[in-house]
Structure 1
């Protein structure tokens, strides 16, 4: 009887640990997805700024 209770308690603890690890892995994955999206937006903005620089230089030279 005690062995059965011990096994059940260990199984419940193992399940709780698995759920906790799954939750933390999911949260970490969400955080990394958000970071990836932010990095992509920043890279796009940086590329757009680089694309605009030559045209701005050209317009500045025309005004002189």
Structure 2
């Protein structure tokens, strides 16, 4: 999570740790639902890329 920009980290935390819906997150953050969806998509892609890179470095 520390590798994500602050806004993306907040949206991810609200979604998964806070168990909020996209609509609820949009209200809390003060942005459109589409923006929340885009931030979640981008954050998941960044996290996936980081995990894949980490896994490649750890393989013998």
> Shorter-chain TM-score: what band?
0.3 to 0.5
Structure label with greater radius of gyration: 1
TM-score, structure 1 length as denominator?
0.45
